[in-house]
Amino acid sequence: MRKINKIIIHCSATREGQAIDLETIRDWHVKGRGWSDIGYHYLVHIDGTISQGRLHSVAGAHTKGENQESLGICYIGGVELDGKTPKDTRTCSQADSLEALLYSLKAMYPGAKIHGHRDFSAKACPSFDATKEFDDISNLFNPENEKNC
């Protein structure tokens, strides 16, 4: 079993309101980049549904230098209608589903910290400060925070 110490949030860098499915992103990664599969472990769609990409047991292809010990989550969106300007385009349903998914993953991997892709790359992705926004979840269940009583 892989050791997971990071959960890294991404955006698809697609226009606000533009629905993109898992197979489209898989094609971008497999046909466009020559990867073996979609790079993410999860996609959070505009309507809040969650699709699983890679299995947890398989390293992702989402953050250079960080894939071996991380899970990658991508929400659909992240760019204004102009197709260029970064923007947090999460719908309420996406925000709720992403938060629920993070709580679930954090329970499975108590030592994992939540980050945005931008923490590891000179990109705006995921178009918001995920590390700051999810700091409370990141610190849940953390063995370092437990007191020995």
Say which of 10, 29, 45, 115 is annotated catalytic.
10
* 40 in catalytic set: yes
Question: What separation in angstroms does the CA of 57 have from each of 3, 32, 38, 41, 94?
Answer: 9, 24, 14, 10, 25
The 8-class DSSP code of residue 28 comes to I
* 45 in catalytic set: no
The 8-class DSSP code of residue 86 comes to B
* Assigned token pair, 55: 């299995």
* 106 in catalytic set: no
Say which of 40, 42, 75, 109 is annotated catalytic.
40
* 117 in catalytic set: yes
For residues 8 and 113, give the distance between their C-alpha atoms in angstroms, rounded to a whole number: 8
Say which of 75, 84, 125, 132 is annotated catalytic.
125
* 92 in catalytic set: no
Say which of 6, 106, 115, 117 is annotated catalytic.
117
For residues 75 and 105, give the distance between their C-alpha atoms in angstroms, rounded to a whole number: 16
Q: Which residues are catalytic?
A: 10, 40, 117, 123, 125
